Structure 1
Amino acid sequence: MLVFPLINDTSRKIIHIDMDAFFASIEERDNPELKGKPVVIARNPLETGGRGVVSTANYEARKYGIHSAMSAKEAYELCPQAIFVSGNYAHYQEVSRQMHDIFHRYTDEVEGMALDEAYLDVTVNKINATSAVKIAKMIQHDIFTELQLTSSAGVSYNKFLAKIASDIEKPRGLTLIPPEDALSFLADLPVEKFHGVGAKTAEKLETLGITKGSEIQNASPQFLAEKLGVFGWQLYLKANGIHQSPVKPNRIRKSVGKEKTYGKLLYLEVDIKAEVSKLSQRVATSLQDKKLKGHIIVIKIRYADFTTLTKRLSLDDKVDDADAIDQCAQKLLDETLRDTVGIRLLGVTVTGF
């Protein structure tokens, strides 16, 4: 068996900041009457005939099992007393910009992953601090005092570990994974907690007898690559604490989308839904080929009269699988579809990588 030298750069100091229930927290901040009550960012299903999908929910609502990408109807059934808020994406973008202004006080090495999360490389920083934990605490303090919002932070020597660390003590948490603890921490980590491992990959790993990090660490990298392709090798490296991807401050936001124009107008709902499913599958295939995941799903409809509508949904988690994309696209379609008007173009796009 070939032996690969595992070279690990543990000199970097990386922070991952993840806002706590960002959209819902902004709504609570702006409307104090919402505090302590279950808040769901979605159109009220009682006003939409059951249509709509949950963008996010505050922690009170999550106690009832409500989560992003769930139908608003199901969320209502789980918690009829929940307060549904349609949301204001432009406002959330402005708050995110204010959050990034705070980040840039400490470093310009900032890579925004979504409106509510970012990586910061503070190996060299503007306040000449030697402790990344100290900087993370200062950022959390600034966000709380200036924006009246809470955040969670993960600190480690690479992006993969910092991302995992920020999830450990939510909300308002701060977790450090130092180099000397990384392997033991990862050894106990369930495979589904490895970012990039979805439900289907976790099932496949389980059939191989792999359910936690130690079993990935002890597996042959060639075996993992044979079973999972390039992702198997990447997973092996991550389980051994190796992830060399740099923080990319000039990261260009991209999107992956597919559109189709129909010479014969679509009228039947069953045909329209089938076409959206096909487009979702094509988008998922393209995302997986490019090793990309996004948390914003966009649907585009052009009607016979050339009226063009787009509708988007922002999720808490990034997705790349066809089922998740199609589920969101179909829900957006339900909210946008006009009866008796033929459709000449449909499009599905995933963005927010």
Structure 2
Amino acid sequence: MLLDLDAFFASVEQLDHPGWRGKPVIVGGRPEDRGVVSTASYEARAFGVRSAMAASVAASLCPQAIWTQGRHERYKEVSRQVMAILYDETPLIQQVSIDEAFADVSPTKTNREHPVLVAQRIQRRVEELGVTCSIGIGTSKAVAKIASETRKPRGLTAVYPGTEAAFLAPLPVKALSGIGAASERALASRGIRTLGELANASDSLLQRLLGKNGAVMKRRATGLGDSAIDEREPVKSISNELSFAEDLTERDDLEAAMATMAAKVGRRARAAGLKGVTLTLRLRFGDRTVRSVQRKLSEPADDDLSWKVPLGEMLDELWAEGLSVRLVGVGLSDFREPKPVQPTLFDGCEGETGARADQSRRELLAATDSVRKRFGDAAVRFGSEIRTLEGSHYHRPPAVGAGDEGRSTAPGA
């Protein structure tokens, strides 16, 4: 699957500036500074404005456009939220830019959900952030990439196994990643203008025209599989953060926020098959100062229900009554294989204790993970989480932010 955020920078600007919605917005250098267009909203694109276009040309095509030079930290923030949604679905993510990422959503023995249903859920959740995305699904990254571009914005195109060649054949060769202007001209000189013609060209001709990339381009043009999702480096940490429209000052509210973030981190860790021994709590206070503390767990864990006590102790280290908090973050790192544990003869003999309690808790977490994956985070919540979103002190919904700090697999995720 390839997720591509629609007119991303411009969409974020329209999200943050309600008065700009429905109007042509251009992000980039201004005409008087000889700048270029970075991103144009779809309203601006209707006038012919395109990315990488000289700002002076864009201004002549759309003189009524709203211009902004952009806020890259804000774009990274929204990108992290989108990538967190992807990581909720699969640990196999390859982010290729701030607004694009591949994800392997192939059905498995344990998860038989149709990829289209997964994509639809992702689109709904991304739209809840205030931006939209287009998604392409295929049996290779090349097909998924092209499919994502066929219907924009808010498009969803699935190319089913066995239909790749027919889908690709009529498309121009420039639709294939790796075919630039020079390659397009070289192919056109020999009458090769569509991917179908490229797929049927001889290997020797393509080698003369495209060099060593000839065989790769031909393979992609036929829709054959290419490299798998490249995770590059192993996961280093998993974290989620929640910022608030109004600062928190009550311990109950802070504990509810910690429980909500811990639940997200735990679910992502379980989905990735990871267990960590270092738990992190991060707070941003009302004066914008940031403090964090870490605590080593007794053994590698992905069970967020067992983190309540250590998180409470960590909160005591960072926060005192009366301090206002505007952001709460929970993280898990230092991933290791759990050590074998020898159960004792008396485990579980006196109520739900020991191994039996652990098993009951894991079954409960597995059940809630399944419900949340299918119906969204709000479908089921533990009592400790409810206060976070339903607290009476909120006058408007909190802004949710999610990150995966320290993960080098996907830049910005």
* TM-score (structure 2 length as normaliser): 0.55
Task: Give the whole-Å Cα distance in 2 for the aligned partners of 1:210 and 1:228.
Answer: 12
Structure 1 stretches of 4+ with a deviation exceeding 3 A read: 124-127
Is 1:152 paired with 2:152? no
For the pair 1:95 / 2:78, whether they are aligned, the reply is yes
- Distance of 2:210 and 2:231 partners within structure 1: 30
Indicate the SS of the match to 1:104: helix
Moved more, 228-237 or 118-127: 118-127
Q: Is the 8 A contact 2:147 2:158 kept in 1?
A: yes
The aligned runs of 1:197-216 (5 Å cut-off) are 197-216=179-198
Q: What is aligned with 2:350?
A: none
SS at match of 2:137: strand
CA RMSD of aligned residues (A): 2.0
Return 5+ residue gaps in structure 1 as ranges.
Answer: 1-14, 253-350
Q: How many angstroms apart in 2 are the aligned matches of 1:33 and 1:125? A: 45
Map 1:244-255 onto structure 2 (within 5 A). 244-250=226-232
The structural deviation recorded for 1:43 is: 3.6
Unaligned 5+ runs, structure 2: 235-410
- CA distance in 1 between counterparts of 2:91 and 2:108 reads 8
Q: CA deviation at 1:185?
A: 1.3
Counterpart position of 2:87: 104
Q: Distance in 2 between matches of 1:86 and 1:235?
A: 37
Q: How does 1:59-74 map to 2 (within 5 A)?
A: 59-74=42-57
Task: Please say if residues 183 and 209 of structure 2, whose CA atoms lie closer than 8 Å, have aligned partners that are also in contact.
Answer: no
Partner of 2:216: 234
Residue equivalent to 2:40: 57
Is the aligned partner of 1:25 residue 2:5?
Answer: no
Q: 1:237 to 1:101 in 2, by over 3 A?
A: same
Higher mean Cα deviation, 135-144 or 183-192?
Answer: 183-192
Q: Distance in 2 between matches of 1:219 and 1:140?
A: 38
Specify which of 98, 113, 118 is matched with residue 115 of structure 1. Answer: 98
Q: How far 1:126 sits from its partner (Å)?
A: 11
SS at match of 1:154: strand
Query: Per-residue CA shift, 1:231-269, capped at 9, x if unaligned?
Result: 1111111111123211112369xxxxxxxxxxxxxxxxx
How does 1:130-169 map onto structure 2 within 5 Å? 130-145=113-128, 147-169=129-151
Q: TM-score of the superposition, structure 1-length normalised?
A: 0.64
CA shift in 2, pair 1:74/1:251, >3 Å: farther
Measured in 1, the distance between the counterparts of 2:204 and 2:29 equals 48
Residues 180-237 of structure 1: per-residue CA shift (max 9 Å, x gap): 2111112111111112111111111010110112212221112211321111111111
Contact residue 222 and residue 233 of structure 1 kept, 8 A: no
Does residue 84 (structure 1) correspond to residue 67 (structure 2)? The answer is: yes
Q: What SS does the corresponding residue of 1:55 show, helix, strand or coil? A: strand
Do the aligned partners of residues 94 and 125 (structure 1) sit closer, same or farther apart at CA in structure 2, a change above 3 Å counting?
Answer: farther
Aligned-pair CA distance for 1:124: 5.0
1:333-352, aligned counterparts within 5 Å? Answer: none
Give the 3-state SS of the residue equivalent to 2:70 in structure 1: coil
Partner of 1:193: 175
Q: Deviations over 1:277-312 (max 9, x none)?
A: xxxxxxxxxxxxxxxxxxxxxxxxxxxxxxxxxxxx
Identity of aligned residues (%): 42
**Counterparts of 1:190 and 1:140 in 2: how far apart (Å)?**
28
1-structure distance, mates of 2:56, 2:48: 13
Distance 2:164 2:14 in 1: 36
Cα distance 1:98–1:149, how it changes in 2: closer, same or farther (>3 A)?
same
- How big is each residue's C-alpha offset from its partner over 1:124-160, in whole Å with a ceiling of 9 and x where there is no partner? 5798243111101110011111x11110000011100
